[in-house]
Structure 1
Amino acid sequence: MKSNVGGIDKIARIVVGAVLILLALTGTIGVWGWIGILPLATGLFNFCPAWKLLDVNTRKSTR
Structure 2
Amino acid sequence: MFKTNVGGIDRILRIVAGLVLIALAATGTVGAWGWIGVVPLATGLLSTCPLYSIVGLNTCPMKS
Query: Fold match, TM over 0.5?
Result: yes
Give a deviation string over 1:35-62, Cα, whole Å, max 9, x none: 0000000000000000000000000011
- TM-score under structure 1 length normalisation: 0.98
- Stretches of 4+ aligned residues off by more than 6 angstroms: none
User: Does 2:30 correspond to 1:29?
Assistant: yes
Q: What is the TM-score of this pair, normalised by structure 2?
A: 0.96
Unaligned runs of at least 5 residues, structure 1: none
Partner Cα separation in structure 2 for residue 2 and residue 50 of structure 1: 12
2:3 matches 1:2 = yes
Higher helix share: 1
For residues 61 and 37 of structure 1, the distance between their equivalents in structure 2, rounded to whole angstroms, comes to 28
Q: Show structure 2 runs of 5+ residues with no match.
A: none
Distance 1:22 1:9 in 2: 20
In the other structure, the counterpart of 1:41 is: 42
Q: Secondary structure at the match of 1:33?
A: helix
Q: How many residues align?
A: 63
